[in-house]
A and B are shown apart, each in its own frame.
Chain A
Amino acid sequence: MDSSSTIKSTPLHEILKCHLIFVHGKGGVGKSTLAYSLSQILSESKKTLLVSIEDPTLDPGIKKTINARFDHLNNDSKKSFEEYISIKMGSPLLAKLFFQNKLMQYLASAAPGTRELTLLGKIWYELKSYDHVVVDMPATGHGLTMLQAVQNWAKLFKGSIFAKDSEEIIRTLNNPKKTGNVICALPEEMPLVESLELYESLGRIIPHPLVSFIANRVFPLAISNNEAPTSLKPYSETALEHVIQKNKLENDNLKQWGSFLFLKIPYFEPYSTAQIQNQMVDYLNQQLKENKA
């Protein structure tokens, strides 16, 4: 891993100017809550769409209205593929013939990246109806697959309608004025390193990506822990000891990458998803107002 000097974190307020915003990160880091909170903040003044990718807990392909300026879509590859083909063919009847053909069904499920391309194609299609589209990306590897798939298709189907659309999507992705990224990680050593690896992988697909790094669930600590010695024991005995060690560890980890690389979001007391979302929205709004994000 190169030193942090080669990695640039863009302030969150810059990312929030982008038309398309991808929220990346591993599973279980609070990515969905963050994506929801960012959408909520954007929708305070702009028309915003939050896109989830095939969330099994939501109805597939359904767009839900959260408020007048805030929609939430659960992007479904099958539904989006049918929609895409119907638009391209201009005739629902022809499209139906196409879908009922077994061979086409196989190809659609087997051609590498069809699923990912359709999901991204749908997002790109929705851009024209919204000021901002925030995408809650699938866990790390799968999210990159989605971006890689468009590049593959542009090459595989040179000169075709698919390729032209793919190239257009790539242009949007490559334009830092249009597309921004948020990489979210927990403040532990390996997740932080991984988020920088993700940045590198992203750079191989999109040159010079605009990225804001966020460390989520940073443990709060009221008393100063400066004097607390680093424990040599692998396990703590008391909750207080654990919190102090955890806080120390997190701060050391974050310092390693420079004090400004990661925007810190504290660990909100885990009551319910809605309550965490509210706390996160308030916190981020406060940070944005004070020019800290």
Chain B
Amino acid sequence: MQLLLRGITRADAPPPRLTFDGLAHVEAASLRAFASCIEARTALGRGELLEHHRIVHELHWRTRACLPVRFPTWLDSEAAVRTSLEHREPELGAALERIRDRAVLALTVVAAALDEREPTRGGPGTRYLRQRATTLSRAEALAAALRERAGDEVLDISQSIMPRSGVLVSIAVLVNMDRADAVAEHLRNAAPDGEDVRILVNGPWPPYTFAVVPAREG
């Protein structure tokens, strides 16, 4: 039997009753890890990715603080889970408090039309580099404008400029879980005037981006 780790919560309250197949929990010290029991390690795809998201999502909303575990993380036994929890209890506990009652909104800014400022002079290489520089500058300005418009309800921000083709900016904002829908609505309409972009606001999601546990030296 293999364990596919899902998330980590505090163990100071009874575990929430969830209906996912094979989901079990293991406790060690003040922590509780949730994992799916699977016969053998198998190839994972879109379905398993979304299942992981659903489990972590429900755990986070039921307990108000669930640290998502990097997907896909496998452990061989419950004893191995306990060892991992005990080994890192202080860091995991501190990380849980940082994300308590918080959720992530993911903003993806997509260019709605080709850039009108596309350079027409020079060879293909020069045009490519000029185009890229123009788009980079535009994306950075957009990110700055969105950060400014995000307002005081945003507790933390992580951004990525031009993370992939067609996407100008990807931003994750950390907000209070209970205010997430209102902040999302505000951000959907935050495109600066004159910018022909679509802002896709996804979430609220569990705080994947901000579930950071520093590496332990030695």
Are A and B part of the same complex? no
